[in-house]
Amino acid sequence: MVSNFSIVQCIYNRGKYTPEEIRRILANAEQDESSAAKLLADDAVDVSPVRTAVLQAMGSDYIPACQHYPAYVELFIQSLKNMLHTEAVVESVPCEEDEAIPCYGTSQCLSGDITMAAGLIASEPVYLKLAERYSEEELLEMDEMARDSIEEFINVLNGMFSVELGEKEIETDLELPRFGENIKPRGSNQLRLRVHSSVGSFQVVMATDEFF
């Protein structure tokens, strides 16, 4: 089980910094995490700040089938840090705007005891930067390697999430990842959240069926 504590998410939840300012904080934290800790007052500590943000974004409108969204986003943010070496925070309000075109999305469906599709959508520059972080290769344009890198990241992430669900006696199987271009997500019980990272902002998307 990964730690759900995030210093930078605690800072962002306080609402005192703009997205541009938080991206600078994120970039500095990638070099020295103590730089972010210095901005966090002792009385502002939330032991599960990502979960807090997701629950606030969800409000009371989501059905029980969506109860796993907070745990997924917690793992997503931690996996960005562990696998892409990228600090990130998530907004506490639903995202309603689409990404700038051209943009790309990668999703994967988990089926079994529950059905849930999850993945990300990013503008081309951000998608490439995320793919670079994962592959550790310079990627100057959208190509098969960029697509494969994000698909592999999502597959590994969702595999770990499936294991977490299994520990709760919720059995799921992973379907093959999906890739799309210029996506306007339209999933059932969909939640879109903007993620701010040091390489730019993008969306994490969850739904109870495929959203594109």
Domain region containing 14:
7-207
CB-CB contact of 46 with 52 (8 Å): yes
Q: What pLDDT is attached to residue 41?
A: 61
Torsion sign across C-alpha atoms 72, 36, 26, 79: negative
2 is a domain residue: no
32 is a domain residue: yes
143 is a domain residue: yes
Rounded alpha-carbon distances, angstroms, from residue 124 to 22, 74, 154, 161, 201: 21, 24, 17, 26, 11
1 is a domain residue: no
Per-residue pLDDT at 46 exceeds 60? yes
Q: What pLDDT is attached to residue 1?
A: 40
107 is a domain residue: yes
Mean pLDDT value across the chain:
93
Backbone phi, then psi, for 201, in 5-degree steps? -105, 155
Name the domain count of the chain: 1
Torsion sign across C-alpha atoms 62, 2, 15, 128: negative
Percent of the chain with pLDDT over 90: 75
191 is a domain residue: yes
Task: Write down the pTM of the prediction.
Answer: 0.90
Average pLDDT of span 149-166? 99
E strands of 60-171, at which residues? 88-94, 103-112, 116-123
Q: What is the DSSP letter of 118?
A: E
- Strand 191-197 to strand 178-181: parallel, antiparallel, or no bridges (unpaired)? unpaired
Of 65, 99, 143, give the one whose Cα is nearest residue 151: 143
CATH of the domain at 157: 3.40.1550.10
**pLDDT digits over 14-45, tens only?**
888 888 899 888 898 888 877 877 776 655 57
163 is a domain residue: yes
